[in-house]
Amino acid sequence: MTPTCFDAIVVGAGQAGPSLAGRLAAAGRKVAIVERKLFGGTCVNTGCTPTKTLVASAYVAHKARTAQAYGINVAGPVTADMKALKARKDAVLMKSRNNIETWLRGMENCAVFTGHARFESPTEMRIGEDLITAPEIFLNVGGRAKVPEMPGVHEVPFLTNVSLLDLDELPRHLIVVGGSYVGIEFAQAFRRFGSEVTIVEMGPRLVQREDEDVSASVKEILEKEGIRIRLNAECITLAKKGQKIVVHVNCAHDASPSLGSHVLLAVGRRPNTDDLGLDKACVAIDKHGYIQVDDQLRTTAPGIWALGDCNGKGAFTHTAYNDFEIVAANLLDYETRRVTDRIPCYALYMDPPLARVGLNEREVRASGKPALIGTRPMTKVARATEKGETDGFMKVLVNAETKQILGASILGTSGDEAIHCILDTMYARAPYTTITHAMHIHPTVSELIPTVFEDMKPLS
């Protein structure tokens, strides 16, 4: 069979692929883009968009329940209409999915293939009956939920981020295995919808990559809403008991197992690289299955790049999109952009959100850099007290000698937006005094960021 020739093949219509296809096609390249399932990938269909839509519904429920404290009367008990809630979520994500698919199908110089793509050789890919070839291939295949081999896991009907989002009934008791980003967002949302919720975490604290004070504050906020948290679950086993699912946290003897109606596994992600035929293209992967790439996202095979979650260099939509920007700049704009130029940043969308940039306190201490630290509780932020949302705190870290900002954590209302003034100052490589000399708008959360920098003391 003679393959159909293209200048470039893009595999995966997630967060990097469509934009890259657009840039390549606009530059006159004949492009093929292949998607095996849902246009928009994880973020649009089973990740960011649907979860943040649920988080928004959960916030409304929470505000309605606490309305009296604001002098507002809401009659009757607050309940979640799961069917309506799901319909709203689906409407929001369908708009994004359809926009991406329509854009790609209408794109000049771009052919859309639907199906699973596999390498036949370093320049050829098969999608069902179709064989296509190109000298340049861009892999944007993303990842999926990891299913850990814990005892009993295949004997119970567990949920992942995909299947939980499909529920249109309220779980009576949701047990969330995994106390990190995905697990916490779902846990708080479903608690606010009215489920009993238990988080089971193997480690000694939630969000373990963060500082201990952040983990402690996150735990306190969740417990205040009635979420049960079981840490140090050194050995998790699952079993069925009638209609219920039993989760033991201690294999030897667990006197008080958690008994749930539903179990969500939120213990990490794995890359979609096991069924791509990478061996036929001489593309190397690491021991976790991530495609090995250099600083400009070139794989070990000439003419093949890997972008987004599948390269292990990031696990966010903004890192996937930044991968597209790096590849496009290097190939089409003759600029030199690199992965190592970017500053780590992300947010956990519990309420209040946790926003992070750069190094945290533990990492600064480990670096041995002379540093200054500033903190401020959200109780001392006017906007937060006016909104009645005073949980959390801000923390900033600065190099004592160069005055460069090393990193920040903001756990607090609007923290996910406010942190960008710190992030942009870091990108500008400007000293923290740029922020302390700037006049910020009152009353905002950002307005207090200069004050946190002004109140710093040496990190002892």
Indicate whether 326 belongs to the interface with ligand FAD (CB under 6 A).
no
The correct pick among 6, 8, 9, 15 for binding ligand FAD (CB under 6 A) is 15
Binding track over 284-313 against ligand FAD, x by CB under 6 A: ------------------------xx----
CB atoms within 10 A of CB 287: 5
**Residue 142, both tokens:** 């993303």
Binding track over 130-149 against ligand FAD, x by CB under 6 A: ----------xxxx------
Residues 157-176 that bind ligand FAD (CB under 6 A): 161
The bridge status of strand 136-139 relative to strand 304-306 is: parallel
Indicate whether 37 belongs to the interface with ligand FAD (CB under 6 A).
yes
Which of 60, 63, 97 lies closest to 81 in space, CA to CA? 60
- By C-beta, is 86 or 369 nearer to ligand FAD? 86
- By C-beta, is 296 or 451 nearer to ligand FAD? 296
Helices 82-105 and 17-26 cross at an angle (nearest 10°) of 20
Indicate whether 414 belongs to the interface with ligand FAD (CB under 6 A).
no
Indicate whether 16 belongs to the interface with ligand FAD (CB under 6 A).
yes
Active site residue 442: yes
Helices 17-26 and 317-332 cross at an angle (nearest 10°) of 20
- By C-beta, is 53 or 330 nearer to ligand FAD? 53
The correct pick among 9, 10, 11, 187 for binding ligand FAD (CB under 6 A) is 11
Residue with tokens 């900033």: 396
- What distance in Å separates the CA atoms of residue 255 and residue 239, rounded to the nearest whole number? 15
Taking the C-alpha atoms of 432, 433, 437 and 440 in order, what is their torsion angle to the nearest 10 degrees? Answer: 10
Task: Tell which phi-psi region holds residue 368, choosing left (phi > 0), alpha (psi between -120 and 50) or beta.
Answer: left
Residues 187-246 that bind ligand FAD (CB under 6 A): none
**Residue 143, both tokens:** 């990842």
- By C-beta, is 11 or 373 nearer to ligand FAD? 11
Q: Is the CB of residue 443 less than 8 Å from the CB of residue 425?
A: no
Q: Is the CB of residue 274 less than 8 Å from the CB of residue 294?
A: no
Indicate whether 270 belongs to the interface with ligand FAD (CB under 6 A).
no
Supply φ then ψ for residue 353, to 5 degrees: -70, 155
Indicate whether 405 belongs to the interface with ligand FAD (CB under 6 A).
no
The correct pick among 8, 33, 48, 278 for binding ligand FAD (CB under 6 A) is 48
Indicate whether 328 belongs to the interface with ligand FAD (CB under 6 A).
no
Supply φ then ψ for residue 43, to 5 degrees: -55, -50
Known catalytic residues?
442
Q: Give the binding site for ligand FAD (CB under 6 A).
A: 11-16, 34-38, 41-43, 47-48, 51-52, 116-117, 140-143, 161, 182, 272, 276, 308-309, 315-318, 320, 349
